[in-house]
Structure 1
């Protein structure tokens, strides 16, 4: 897909609209988890793989809340990291859909095994690189977002770039020594980061809806 440059024709109102969308997304994530829970417990069943998904939803909601709290406090350098952690939630939930035995997968994770060492139904190790490529087929752009935000987790060129600006049309740059309590981002970057956080959460919600449908089909065996 073609990626467009960041839209600079935005303002604080646009940012607040995204915050509201993230709040609504948290409700949607909570509701789909409750629907899965009710569908199973109505038949006096509660599957361990569903417990795995509930744990992911709980983490996702807390990450969304944390992102909003940090960004509203103008701590964007910390908030940006949470986009990468939310993409991690997507990859972990997606991994559940790739294994032939979900109960075995759940038990192995509970025993401390890393997903990157486990294999999917085709015999491929489910590393982050592998899962991000597979998810990129479902959600074009996922891998690029995952890779870009990974740069914020460990100190990297991403942090150095925050502290300088290139002078247009040449290789000179302005270096900033930031010793203040906060780093000020232009509003268009804030909107872009917040929108990416929302998009990744929405992709997680779609994966949860897919899991819900698969479990509804599976639960038909319980009369």
Structure 2
């Protein structure tokens, strides 16, 4: 009987039994696959291909609405200036007509970006509130007034915008109307404000705003 195979089998068995057991170590992902914290860049909300979403106004926010699916992305207050202005520029197809700081607002200095269609985004300087030290201009509110360009002015998801009648506003929202130094001023409990050019049901909306604004009474 050939004993060579038995000798080789014995040596291999001894070698395997001499190896100490090792605990299984977790796999370390490659650097490129390690997830990173999401950046606060609202430009990523606009798809690079296809039609851009439409812009809608909301209480203390603006919204991006997919015209095909109706899905809505809400951009709340607190977003930084540059990425938000870049996003709205992409949606509207043009940059702001004016950008500047108004130091005479009752709420304190506000940095404002105004588009030709009459939309203004207001930003207040605040602490970053994250790991990055320092301060930045953060989204604080919006206002809508008659524009000087041909671009279509945005409206709320309920269709309330410049030129909407008081009757139409009241069919979409519960509003309170008061006579102020600005004229006939209306408001909702959720934080939408506006002006009417008269008191009757056919009076039309002449301005809208929400959040921090630079309204002088």
Structure-2-length-normalised TM-score? 0.22
Say which structure, 1 or 2, has more relative contact order (CA 8 Å, 6+ apart).
1
**Which structure shows the bigger proportion of residues in helix conformation?**
1
Larger radius of gyration: 2
**Which structure shows the bigger proportion of residues in strand conformation?**
2
